[in-house]
Structure formats: structure tokens, C-alpha cells
């Protein structure tokens, strides 16, 4: 138990499976894969704002980043590396919160510590390899391309605003790597959870 935590404080949440996840002291056994998929599908990017009838989920964003990394990798991605891309924001699904970037510096060390503990539990459960500097740069580039593309196609920012206001130097892509119908449309939560879970199961090592 963290030293700063009051003895009587409740910091656990009940997940759809019925399991309890202690957000301050998580273990790799506190959730099911379905819990994670549902959490990511119900956690929204861009503060939940969207030019479409539905907001964009972190689950759909995670699949977009994976698709962009696969397209940009000349040698292809191993299942372990692909799993790392898919799970890069998984802590947000367990926490149920994806703060917009300008807000993050104001959330303080407490939020960063909670996110880091959740990230460590996720890495342990799914055998996520550590980043090398080169792999991290490639991931960040794909993540920024995804953000620029979402900003334009989902939220409604212009290319100029993306560069000047959001300060994203990577250009948005015009095609939808996820082949949405219509392109770039945010998915309903149940569909996003289903597709995320299917991708995760394909990438898991044999039991």
C-alpha cells in the first residue's frame, strides 16, 4: 500500500467482469481482457469532442496507431512489438480517463504515479517488451500522425491549426488505415471493444 494512502480510502473500481481493480496498487491479475477492451472503448479521445455523432475511443485510436506502425515498418512488426503498440494507452482504459495533452502538466505527480503503476501491471500481464530509443521514436511518430489525422478527420481542426495550435509537425493522412465505412467515423463502443479484443487475442503468445 502506498505510504500516502489513507488506511480507509477506497481507490478500487468494480469492473464489468465483477473484479475489483485497485488503482493505487494494481496487479496484473485484477482485470480480464474483456474489461480492458470495454474500458478503452468507453474512454474517449479529444475530451470526448467529435464532429461525428459519436466520440472517438482510445480503443479505436490504439488500433489506428498499430496500423500506422505496421505501414511504416519496412521489416514488419513481431507480435510482441505489435502488442506493445496496441497497448500503448491501455492504462487509460483501466483508469477511464484520457486527459487532453494541455491538461496533463497540471495533473501533477500523483496522476503520473497512478498511470505508471497501471502501466507496469499491464506490461507484466501482457509481456510487453521495453522500448528502445529507436522504437520509441517510431512509435511517437505514428502516434502523432494518428493524432493529426484524428484532429482533422474526427474533430474538425484544419491543417494550419494542427501545425500552429496543436503544434503537431506530422501531417495527417487522407486515407483511413482502418478502412472505416465511412472513413474516419468513430465506432460504437461495443464494436470498438470487439475489434480491440480480437486484435489483442491475435497478438498474444500461445498459452
DSSP letters along 140-168, please? HHHHHHHHHHHIIIII---HHHHHHTS--
pLDDT tens digits for range 167-197: 999 999 999 999 988 999 999 999 999 999 9
What is the rounded distance in angstroms from the CA atom of residue 31 to the CA atom of residue 108?
26
Cβ neighbours of 70 (radius 10 Å): 15
Percentage of the chain beyond pLDDT 90 is: 86
pLDDT tens digits for range 20-53: 999 999 999 999 999 999 999 999 999 999 999 9
Q: Give residue 141's pLDDT.
A: 97
CA distances from 190 to 39, 59, 194, 196 (A): 11, 10, 6, 10
Going by pLDDT thresholds of 50, 70 and 90, the confidence category of residue 200 is: very high
pLDDT tens digits for range 70-101: 998 767 899 999 999 999 999 999 999 999 88
Look at the domain 47-203 and name its fold.
Hypothetical protein af1432 (1.10.3210)
Q: Over 90: is that where the pLDDT of 137 sits?
A: yes
| pTM for the whole structure | 0.93
What is the rounded distance in angstroms from the CA atom of residue 104 to the CA atom of residue 91?
15
What is the rounded distance in angstroms from the CA atom of residue 39 to the CA atom of residue 17?
11
pLDDT tens digits for range 139-161: 999 999 999 999 999 999 999 99
Among candidates 58, 21, 60, 23, which has minimal Cα distance to 43? 58
Among candidates 120, 116, 143, 136, which has minimal Cα distance to 45? 143
Q: Which long-range contacts does 4-13 make (Cβ < 8 Å, 24+ apart)?
A: 13/96
Amino acid at each position: 500500500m502506498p505510504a500516502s494512502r489513507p488506511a480507509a480510502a477506497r481507490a478500487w473500481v468494480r469492473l464489468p467482469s465483477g473484479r475489483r481493480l485497485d488503482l493505487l496498487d494494481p496487479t496484473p491479475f485484477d482485470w480480464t481482457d474483456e474489461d480492458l477492451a470495454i474500458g478503452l472503448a468507453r474512454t474517449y479521445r479529444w475530451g470526448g469532442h467529435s464532429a461525428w455523432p459519436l466520440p472517438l475511443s482510445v480503443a479505436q485510436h490504439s488500433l489506428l496507431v498499430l496500423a500506422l506502425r505496421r505501414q511504416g515498418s519496412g521489416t514488419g512488426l513481431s507480435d510482441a512489438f505489435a502488442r506493445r503498440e496496441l497497448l500503448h494507452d491501455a492504462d487509460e482504459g483501466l483508469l477511464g480517463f484520457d486527459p487532453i495533452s494541455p491538461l496533463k502538466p497540471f495533473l501533477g505527480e500523483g496522476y503520473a504515479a497512478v498511470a505508471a503503476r497501471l502501466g507496469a501491471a499491464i506490461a507484466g500481464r501482457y509481456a510487453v517488451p521495453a522500448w528502445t530509443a529507436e522504437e520509441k521514436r517510431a512509435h511517437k511518430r505514428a502516434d502523432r500522425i494518428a493524432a493529426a489525422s484524428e484532429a482533422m478527420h474526427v474533430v474538425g481542426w484544419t491543417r494550419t491549426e494542427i501545425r500552429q495550435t496543436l503544434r503537431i509537425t506530422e501531417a495527417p493522412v487522407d486515407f483511413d488505415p482502418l478502412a472505416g465505412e465511412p472513413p474516419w467515423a468513430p465506432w460504437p463502443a461495443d464494436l470498438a471493444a470487439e475489434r480491440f479484443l480480437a486484435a489483442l487475442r491475435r497478438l498474444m503468445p500461445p498459452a
